[in-house]
Amino acid sequence: MQFTLTSTLTVLLSGELKKILKRITEGKDEKEKEQGSDDLQEIMTLVQFANDECDYGMGLELGLDLFCFGSERFQTVILQLMPLAYRLLGRDEFAEIVEIHLENRTRASLSQLPS
């Protein structure tokens, strides 16, 4: 797929991103999974361009979409996108929360309160 900076927002808002993520996680073969990964990498590159243009919300939105998709496969990407976006937006505390949460995102460690 060919994306542009303006079409990236459309992809994020439409069901196209979900299709890409499903292709990566549920693809029939490695070629299909690789194509999905290439599409996601292209979107991430455009998010970096958006960051350069002070449009920090695009990276935050993509990070939130990946976070909500729920696959552990995207954890590294989420850690690249969300903390940076929050810090660029001046929300350092949220960046720290995301980092700590992702370190403890297994069902067994959900409760951080003492019993």
Written as one letter, the residue type at 92 is: D
Map tokens 């695009």 to a residue.
Answer: 58
Name the helix (H) or strand (E) containing 23: helix 16-26
Q: Which of 34, 53, 72, 103 is catalytic?
A: 53
Provide DSSP, 32-79: HHHHHHHHHHHHHHHHHHHHHTT-THHHHHHHHHHHHH--GGGHHHHH
Q: What is the pTM of this model?
A: 0.79
Residue 53 annotated to the active site: yes
What average pLDDT does the structure give for the chain? 85
How would residue 103 be classed by pLDDT, with cut points 50, 70 and 90?
confident
71-82 pLDDT per residue, tens: 889 999 999 999
